[in-house]
Amino acid sequence: MGATLRDGKLAYKTYGTLTEDKSNAIVYPTWYSGRHWDNEWLIGDGMALDPGRYFIIVPNMLGNGLSSSPSNTPPPYDRARFPKITVLDNVTVQHRLVRQHFGIERLELVTGWSMGAGQTYQWAVSYPDMVKRILPFCGSSKTSEHNIVFLEGVKAALTADDAWNHGWYEEQPAKGLRAMARVYAGWGFSQAFYWNQVYKEMGYSSLEDFLVAFWEGFFLDGRDANNLLTMLWTWQNGDIGKTPGFDGDHVKALGSITAKAIVMPAEKDLYFPPEDEEYAVRHMTGTEAELRVIPGVWGHFAGGGGNPTDTKFIDDALKELLVS
């Protein structure tokens, strides 16, 4: 949009030790509103992302409140003036970290959930010579129109609160954040998740308790409205076809991917439905790409680390991919 982010900061955390030959690196970007610590459920001894074996870099997305964001950028590009950030912008600065700062030339794997999956695809398209394997889960290489509409609803709920004041608030627009949370609640988990009252197994006493404690709590937990709107714009505008050299041709960009891939949508994900990823895999003609659907009722949050069964399913696929 013609704005420039000066002195941008990329916050990240690493797990494990980089080998001398720099051959054991993995990039695992964050997701919509997630912070690096929210990724840690998939990292651990004996897991695929084992810090005893791999050097795992978790870069925080621009706009997430830790990397440069509306909430932490000084004037004049603070708050509502924060520049529009693309998925490509995110991956470009991550690449700088990986290549220039760490001197890594090859990545064993890039993986991520949701918007992290979008960044995973972007890595594979932008740096085909660097990325050996990808495992994007519950995400997409181009944000679908339905997904854009879902996000329009989220945005409309947040910005309906006068306290938002077009981004020039002094205190968080709490009513808008709570409204946004309630909109999100219907999308994050599947119809069957609610039908089966799985939230009770998670320790919530009632549907309303789940809406307040889990969902409203989620968006009130240190989240900032401008940050959320920045990342929402990033999400809505995600499209690997916009990578330089592809002239907006999303299918061509998919065809350019050379990283070996397991693509994992969740069976009942309401905004990244499996059929969209089936389409993507069909067009990944330049590599060996497998569609492997995460079964079950957790919907989008199958990839959120809250359900041991789904976590194992993802971890098993990562293990399989890493030895192939």
CB 318, CB 286: distance < 8 Å: no
What is the full DSSP assignment across 279-312? HHHHT-TTS-EEE-PBPSS-GGGGGTT--HHHHH
Residues in region 91-110 near a second copy by CB under 8 A: none
Q: Is 175 in the site for a second copy (CB under 8 A)?
A: yes
Neighbours of 163 (CB within 10 A): 14
Q: Does 31 bind a second copy (CB under 8 A)?
A: no
Q: Give the range of 39-47, 62-70, 99-107, 268-276 binding a second copy by CB under 8 A.
A: 268-276
**How wide is the angle at C-alpha 197 spanned by C-alphas 193 and 198, nearest 5°?**
65
209's CB contacts (< 8 A; 6+ apart) are 199
Q: What is the torsion angle, in degrees rounded to the nearest 10, for the CA atoms of residue 264, residue 268, residue 274 and residue 275?
A: 180
In angstroms, give the least distance from the CB of 153 to a second copy.
Answer: 4
Q: Which residues, at least 6 apart from 288, have a Cβ–Cβ distance to it below 8 Å?
A: 260, 261
Q: Write down the least CB distance from residue 162 to a second copy, Å.
A: 5
| Beta strand ranges found along the chain (DSSP E) | 12-15, 25-27, 55-59, 109-113, 133-137, 260-263, 289-291
Is 159 a binding residue for a second copy by CB under 8 A? The answer is yes
Binding of residue 239 to a second copy (CB under 8 A): no
3-state secondary structure of 265: coil
| 196-225 binders of a second copy (CB under 8 A) | 197, 207, 211
Q: Segment contacting a second copy (CB under 8 A): 139-147, 220-228, 238-246, 282-290?
A: 139-147
Stretch that binds a second copy, among 99-107, 141-149, 218-226, 249-257 (CB under 8 A): 141-149
Asked if 144 is an active-site residue, the reply is no
Number of residues that bind a second copy (CB under 8 A): 42
In this chain, which stretch among 13-21, 28-36, 100-108, 191-199 interacts with a second copy, using CB under 8 A?
A: 191-199
* Cβ neighbours around 116 below 10 Å, total: 26
From the list 141, 300, 310, 315, the catalytic residue is: 300
Active site residue 95: no
Question: Among 15, 113, 123, 187, which residue interacts with a second copy (rule: CB under 8 A)?
Answer: 187
Q: Minimal distance in Å, beta carbon 179 to a second copy?
A: 4
On whether the CB atoms of residues 322 and 108 are closer than 8 A, the answer is: yes
Binding to a second copy, residues 269-288 (CB under 8 A)? 270-271, 273, 275-276
Q: Is 306 in the site for a second copy (CB under 8 A)?
A: no
DSSP characters over 35-83: -GGGGGGGB-TTSSB-TTT-EEEEEPPTTSSSSS-TTTPPTTSSGGGPP
> What is the C-alpha R_g of the chain?
19
155 touches a second copy by CB under 8 A? yes
269 has catalytic annotation: yes
Regarding 123 and contact with a second copy (CB under 8 A), the answer is no
Instruction: With residue 156 as reference, give the H or E element that holds it.
Output: helix 145-159
Catalytic residues, by residue number, are 114, 269, 300
Positions that interact with a second copy (CB under 8 A): 144-146, 148-150, 152-153, 155-162, 175-176, 178-187, 190-195, 197, 207, 211, 270-271, 273, 275-276
